[in-house]
A and B are shown apart, each in its own frame.
Chain A
Amino acid sequence: MKNLLILGAGTAGTMMANHLTKKLPKQEWQITIVDQHETHYYQPGFLFLPFDIYTEDQVKKDGTKFIPKSVEYIQKKIELIQPEANCVQLEGGEQVNYDLLIIATGSTIAPEEIEGMDGPMWHKNIFDFYTYEGAKALRDKLREWEGGKLVVHVTEMPIKCPVAPLEFAFLADSYFKNKGMRDKVEITYVTPLDGAFTKPRAAKALDYLLEEKDIKEVTSFNIERVDYENNKIIDYADVEVEYDLLVTVPTNMGDSVIERSGIGDDLNFVSTNKGSLQSKEYENVFVIGDATNLPTSKAGSVAHFEAEILTENILRYIKGEQLEEAFDGHANCFVETGNGKALLIDFNYVHEPVEGTFPIPGIGPLRLLKESKANHLGKLAFRWVYWNMLLKGVPIPFVSAKMNEKGKKLETVNT
């Protein structure tokens, strides 16, 4: 019996367990998945929780329900990955040996990277919304907040779901309008990038929306520290931005087990072949989702597309066949723009987000890079798709792992 070990039962790890259990012969392969947490969070829901659009129960479920029965689930902390010895050490001294390893340990926020960020004002008037605790604390704060300067801030790239902070700013605009207090709130969007988004083409469409919603923009802001006593953020060029309420996306880093094991970069992301998803250092180790160092978005849609390709490559690897460098960096994101509308962007390693239709070329029903109510409904419907199809590895009709180039006005990125 051979052992396939998956580290992390988040979006990517859970999908891999579901895909592989259907494909690997049960007499030959035992699949094991390790995660220290019992709860599986619907992370896209963290954007809606602060605005009372989603309830707590809508964004979390018992994670074990999504792991197939034939897969062994170990709920323990991972202490060390030892790829030279093909084994993993768990808390309490348990050792798990593997023939094939999939690292799906994700990414998490590291507010301690910036001086003053997670000090005494953390979750008092400085919040994140990338964790369940942060999003919930922020919801409680917003319910009673009487207005002032709201600063939505991105610390450094890369971050999980790079559009989320912008969506937060758009939804905040709607939220305060609905509460009849938009005139009491000044919203400022602060980013280390040149513009609103990482891709210039989409940034143009998004900059326009910021202007329309009277959201001020501060770009090229590389934060040095948070002066929590005087309520301002300060960058290396000594530019200061004052806030009454700071909603920040802290530095995103890979799991600390990657650092402990010495297998990641400065941000604890694992060096991964961008086409095959195999580790660059160990041939029987594969990496998926936010844990990789790939130059594409860290997002559930990316993990979803990667999962299909990685499943095929693992089957090839087991048969001793050549791996296919098939992953094209495909990402697909709904961008909430407030007032019941959203836009949709679709891009990969080489193509910028473009205008067109999705998922069926020429038909849609969703329009790319254009605001619409249908896109918003798509985003809300996606929660059901996530729990009922995506995690379980059920194919989503018309949505393919590789970006479809039909029905789109394509523009290649200059590199």
Chain B
Amino acid sequence: MKKIIAQKEIDVNEEGYLLDFNQWSKEIGEALAAENDITMTDRHWEVIDYLHDKHQKEEPLSIRGIKKSGVLNVKEFYSLFPGGPLKKSTLIAGIPKPKSCI
């Protein structure tokens, strides 16, 4: 479905995840964060950069991966993106929700 955010039209799935990463921009990420009551800081963006890097390399994202990322520890991950950190951070990053569906 279509969604208007940060004056742009984007395509999202029923959970609000972007369907096409090419539509993503920092402004859209910021607006998606605001919808989830998160104010983005430099630290948040460092995490988003890490997620984009992983996504580009097609490496699956997981809490275990965060533990070994060297970017931040899991506690901080939870404090930056309270609730479901992987779910929320990937939504903001414009990449698919990680699946552990196996």
Contacts and interface: CB of A to CB of B under 8 A. Distances in A.
Interface of A: 156-158, 162, 192-193, 198-199, 220, 222, 224, 236-237, 266-267, 294-298, 413-415
Contacts of A296: 102
A50 B63 CA distance: 31
Q: How large is the interface on B (under 10, 10 to 19, 20 to 34, 35 or more residues)?
A: 10 to 19
B74 A222 contact: yes
Given A222-B74, A237-B78, A198 B65 contact: no
B84 A295 contact: no
Contact of A237 (B82, B96, B99): B82
A267 B64 contact: yes
Nearest to A198: B101
Contact of B74 (A157, A193, A224, A295): A224
Given A224-B74, A236-B75, A414-B13, 6 more contacts: A157-B102, A192-B63, A266-B64, A267-B64, A295-B99, A295-B102
A194 to B, nearest CB: 8
6 contacts: A158-B100, A192-B100, A224-B75, A295-B99, A296-B102, A413-B101
A236 B63 contact: yes
A387 to B, nearest CB: 27
Contact of A266 (B68, B77, B78, B96): B68
A198 B101 CA distance: 4
Q: Is the interface of A mostly helix, strand, loop or mixed?
A: loop
B62 interface: yes
A224 B63 CA distance: 10
Most chain A beta-carbon neighbours within 10 Å: one of B74, B82, B96: B74
B83 interface: yes
Given A220-B84, A236-B74, A237-B78, A158 B64 contact: no
Contacts of B96: 415
A21 B78 CA distance: 53
Interface in B45-80: 62-65, 68, 74-75, 77-78
B100 A157 contact: yes
Contacts of B64: 156, 266-267
Contacts of A413: 101
A222 B63 contact: yes
Interface in B88-102: 96, 99-102
A297 B68 CA distance: 24
A297 B78 CA distance: 28
Nearest to A413: B101
A370 B70 CA distance: 46
A193 B100 contact: yes
Contacts of A193: 100
B67 to A, nearest CB: 9
Nearest to B76: A236
B78 A236 contact: yes
Contact of A198 (B74, B82, B83, B102): B102
Contacts of A294: 102
Interface in B1-17: 13
A218 to B, nearest CB: 14
A373 B77 CA distance: 46
A168 B22 CA distance: 44
A222 B86 CA distance: 11
Given A236-B78, A237-B82, A237-B83, A156 B62 contact: yes
State the 10 A-B residue pairs at the shortest beta-carbon distance, nearest first.
Answer: A157-B100, A198-B101, A236-B78, A236-B74, A158-B102, A295-B102, A222-B63, A237-B78, A220-B84, A296-B102
Contacts of A236: 63, 74-75, 77-78, 85
Contacts of A224: 74-75
Contacts of A415: 96
Contacts of B101: 198-199, 295, 413
